[in-house]
Amino acid sequence: MKSDSGRVSHVSRQKENNMKMVAGNWKMFKTVEEARAYFVELATATPPQGDKVRVIVFPNYIALGALATTGSVPAWVLLGAQDVAAEVEGAFTGEVSPAMIRSTGATHVLIGHSERRHIIGESADLLHRKLINSLQASLIPVLCVGETLEERNAGKIEEVVFGQLDTALSDVQLCDGAQLVVAYEPVWAIGTGVNATNEQIEEAHHLIRQHLKQLLGTAIGGSVAILYGGSVKPANFASIAGLPSVDGGLIGGASLKPSAFAELIAIAEQV
């Protein structure tokens, strides 16, 4: 199908087992002009071939709205928002509704990023309402889950991560796994200089996969893409993306430079 901006979108398809996702979260970086220049440069990179790689970029709201009116975003890049309101519309100053996000041509939205949970202080109930609101507007939620260092050291990985999944996906019924993406973010491995080992990443993703099957059913839970988001960069992405239970990466700092992001896309294509 085509998105509202006319770019070709494959989001309605069931996720193929060998497809990798490369998702760039710009966080609070890039003005409108910087965003346009970024995509002009990224457009010179070799586009991913076939259906091996799906590329998504999450700009800030201002840049996202401005990009909808330009032809600078390559056809092989999907856009998403970094957050979404829990309400459809109304007197909620500063909030941005799913319909507003859809009007830019965006197809995805981040929900429950660790910075929203731990810095902004968003509650589990609020994130659940945001996810439901997004699904009802035909946006694809990228649900972020993960534990802090204190929770990991206390042996509460499953308790915390499963609890985040349980609350966010309570009473959620999906037609297929392509309607949802999950991103595992070990909070203790983001910008701390401490990296998760491949064994730790694979174990966490495997546990999340099994829990998704319990929550959503074997077929749908088994086809939801699970991304890794813990200080991913070109130097470590090949080994991470090659793990059996990892479907790609949610990338922060390394997505801010078009050359580094293009390198990550090329790595995903070779895994």
Residues in the chain, how many? Answer: 271
Residue whose C-alpha is closest to residue 111's, from 82, 78, 88: 82
SS3 254: helix
Strands 108-111 and 77-81: parallel
Residue 191 annotated as lining a ligand binding site:
yes
128 is catalytic: no
Residue 253 annotated as lining a ligand binding site:
yes
The token pair at 132 is 């439901």
108 is catalytic: no
Q: Which of 115, 122, 185, 211 is catalytic?
A: 185
Distance, CA of 217 to CA of 258 (rounded, Å): 38
The token pair at 212 is 């998704």
Q: CA of 33: how far to CAs of 37, 38, 96, 229, 240, in Å?
A: 6, 9, 22, 27, 33
Residue 27 annotated as lining a ligand binding site:
yes
> What does residue 155 show for φ and ψ, rounded to 5 degrees?
70, 30
Q: Which of 113, 128, 205, 211 is catalytic?
A: 113
Residue 9 annotated as lining a ligand binding site:
no
Taking the alpha carbons of 117, 196, 226, 210 in that order, is the dihedral positive or negative?
negative
Give residue for tokens 């999944």.
165
CB atoms within 10 A of CB 118: 12
Give the residue numbers annotated as catalytic, written as ranges.
Answer: 113, 185
Residues of the binding site? 25-27, 191, 231, 252-253
Residues of the binding site for substrate? 25-27, 191, 231, 252-253
